[in-house]
Structure 1
Amino acid sequence: MKLKLTPTQNLCVGFLETGFELIQVDDQYFFVKGERRQKVLPKTLDALVSRGALLHTREGKYELSDEFKQHRKEMRSMVESKHVRH
């Protein structure tokens, strides 16, 4: 898994981590949560799949991979431990 993501790819991951649903309308993709809607390009989703951050399921849905979720959890704990004062 390539762990370095572009700012756009990081933004997409953030949308998924904060409860946005990824939907497809015709040939376009959108992150949707309530009334909020943000377009995302298919090439961005493909890049996230190739980097191992997203899985494309048999049902045609995209979801964060377990490996990527674990990586994010480890990165957060490293950041939190740096902020703990001794």
Structure 2
Amino acid sequence: MKLKLTPTQNLCVGFLETGFELIQVDDQYYFVKGDRRQKVLSKTLEALVTRGALKHTREGKYELSDEFKQHRKRMRSPVESKHTRH
């Protein structure tokens, strides 16, 4: 899996990886953690789904896809050889 994310998309992934919850209020989405709240556009979320980073669950929530979590794990692994990257 080769993922090219925009800085905004990367920021969204970072929010999810650091424990922010993604909530929907009316037709707007927000990343929320404690008192912090960051607005995110639905088109950004859809682009992340299209690229395979997010999945839309049956419950209507967005979460990081298992494939993307594995991709991030491989990219962060210091032992990985350049020859094994996809």
TM-score scaled to structure 1, two decimals?
Answer: 0.89
- Where in structure 2 are the equivalents of 1:42-81 lying within 5 Å? 42-77=42-77, 80-81=78-79
Give 1:9's aligned residue. 9
Give the letter aligned to residue 60 of structure 1.
G
Runs of 4+ with deviation above 6 angstroms: none
Identity of aligned residues (%): 88
Q: CA RMSD in A?
A: 1.4
- Which of the two has greater helix per residue? 1
Q: In structure 2, list runs of 5 or more residues that go unmatched.
A: 81-86
1:29 aligns with 2:22: no
The CA deviation at 1:58 is 1.1
Tell me the CA shift for residue 30 of structure 1. 0.1
Aligned length: 80
**Cα separation, partners in 2 of 1:47 and 1:2, compared to 1, 3 Å:** farther
Q: TM-score, normalised by structure 2?
A: 0.89
**Cα pair 1:2 1:51 within 8 Å, conserved:** no
Name stretches of at least 5 consecutive residues in structure 1 with no aligned partner: none
